[in-house]
Structure 1
Amino acid sequence: MEAVDSDTSQWVTDELEESTRPSTSRGIAGSIKTKEFDSILYGPVVDYSFRNLETLSDCVKLTPRTGFRPNEYTENKKLKSCSLRLSHNRLCDLSGLQQVVDALLVEPERLFWIDLSFNSFPNIDPVLIQCTKLQILNLHGNQISELYEVDKLASLPHLRSLTLHGNPLELVKGYRSYVVGIVPQLKSLDYSTITKQDRSTATILKSFTKRKHVARRKYDD
């Protein structure tokens, strides 16, 4: 059985608490029966790693890998899962991500974990912002070089775990503090728990950067 890390466990806890509330407040499609909720949440990762994928559209032509647990399908051939692994491929953009997720998963809007590590992404694709339930995002081992790319992730309210190591941006001075400051909802960065000291340093850096920008604007005026 696949291991479940602390970030995933917290998300599971939040979802199960939500499931106890009146149906009018739940974000679960009416077509999904309550008894199927847990099987979808705990469903095996939909695994397309090591498939030499160059475009996401290739996914729908292939059968996902089978791990220790077999893939679980609904009657209409949709996968019972909330997680997607696309690592170790040759992807450089996420064109068509929403269409692929819609085609594969029975509950596409509940995608909470996606592994995009070890591909060739030059930036953080804005399409990820549409995955509003995303909690775990792996982007390590790509070609992302600009720190400001991380700004795009600030609007993902549930994002708790992020990996970016192995990208050129990791070498930029102040990298960790910048990410922690821009995405304060994170609990873990590069598999390392974000500490109070990390947050304190990020706050100082953010304040210093803000003052520097203000001073520069006054000088330019």
Structure 2
Amino acid sequence: MTSSLGLKRNALVVEKRIDNHTQSYPPLDYSFHNAQKLEDAVAEPRVSTGGSKLVMEGDRYHSYGINLNHNALSGPMDTFPEFLQKTLMNPFALSSLDLSFNEFTDIPTIITRLSSLKYFYFHKNMLSDPAEVQKLASLRELKYLTLHGNPVEMNVPYLRSYVLSLLPDLRSLNCTPVTKGDRQISDVWSVMNKNLLPKTSNKNLKK
């Protein structure tokens, strides 16, 4: 009979293989274009010096990551799905998206359609409403999130507990690993601040 420890180890091995496969192709880098619109940012993608070469099949790339950091992007990014379809061999497998150092005042709703997203970098934007984080609750694969450097960080002193209440499966928040203590504090905070959480989260707390 397979022990629970053995099953856990097997699961970690499988997950590591998935992560290694995802990282075997470099992300498409569209950073530092000072672009205000997505269409202005997505010229020829770059690869960092010394990085792996981009792999193409036809006119599309094998990649699981998109870097759009250090631009001047804002707004809903409605054309992003079409861009992914045109650019990636497997657009539905996008696992990493970097929108840091832009001018977003909210999290684009289109992000909620990226069901395989595991890494989402959103630091150094103009986000001020903590309720925007609720949009990410539907992303079941999301494990790594950054929000630091947004106005919301200064406006909401309980931000870490709030985010972990909405996204309990995160492994890292703002480049800091989520610890057992973080989860315990978040659980206590959630019970004491039900009025600050969306109704769906309140229902989960009662179960």
| 1:179 alignment partner in structure 2 | 163
For residues 1-221 of structure 1, the aligned pairs below 5 Å read 13-14=14-15, 16=17, 38=21, 42-60=24-42, 62-67=43-48, 68=50, 69-74=52-57, 76-93=58-75, 94-171=77-154, 172-210=156-194
Deviation for aligned residue 1:59: 4.2
AA aligned to 2:130 is L
Q: In 2 relative to 1, CA 103–173 (structure 1 residues): closer, same or farther, beyond 3 Å? A: same
1:174-220 deviation digits (Å, cap 9, x = unpaired)? 01110011111101000000111111111111111127899xxxxxx
Report sequence identity in percent. Answer: 34
Question: Is 1:56–1:95's contact at 8 Å kept on the other side of the alignment?
Answer: no
TM-score, normalising length from structure 1? 0.76
How much has 1:13 moved relative to structure 2?
4.0
1:70 offset after TM fit, Å? 2.2
Measured against aligned partners, the alpha-carbon deviations of 1:45-75 in whole angstroms (never above 9, x if no partner) come to: 1000001221112345x1011222221110x
Q: Give the TM-score normalised by structure 2.
A: 0.81
SS of 1:137's equivalent in the other structure is strand
For residues 123 and 105 of structure 2, what CA distance do their matches in structure 1 show? 12
User: C-alpha distance in 2, partners of 1:194/1:15?
Assistant: 19
User: Hey, what's the Cα distance between the residues in 2 that align with 1:212 and 1:70?
Assistant: 46
8 Å CA contact retained: 2:34, 2:41: no
Q: Are the equivalent residues in 1 in contact too, given 2:29–2:68 (CA < 8 A)?
A: yes
Q: Any idea what SS the aligned residue of 1:102 has?
A: helix
Q: CA deviation at 1:14?
A: 2.8
Specify the SS of the correspondent of 2:86: helix
Contact 2:64 2:93 in 1 (8 A): yes
| CA-to-aligned-CA distance 1:59-93 (integer Å, 9 cap, x gap) | 45x1011222221110x210110001000000012
> Residue 11 and residue 104 in structure 1: after superposition, are their counterparts in 2 closer, same or farther (change >3 A)?
farther
Task: Evaluate the alpha carbon distance shift between residue 11 and residue 44 of structure 1 in structure 2; reply closer, same or farther with a 3 A threshold.
Answer: farther
Write the deviation string for residues 104-135 of structure 1: whole angstroms up to 9, x where unpaired: 11100000001000000000111101000000
**In structure 2, C-alpha distance between the alignment counterparts of 1:98 and 1:80, rounded to whole Å:** 16
Q: Is the 8 A contact 1:85 1:114 kept in 2?
A: yes
SS in 1 for 2:55: coil
In the alignment, structure 1 segments of 5+ residues that lack a partner are 1-9, 18-37, 215-221
Over 3 Å counting, the alpha-carbon distance change for 1:12 and 1:80 in structure 2 is: farther
Q: What is the Cα deviation at residue 95 of structure 1?
A: 2.4
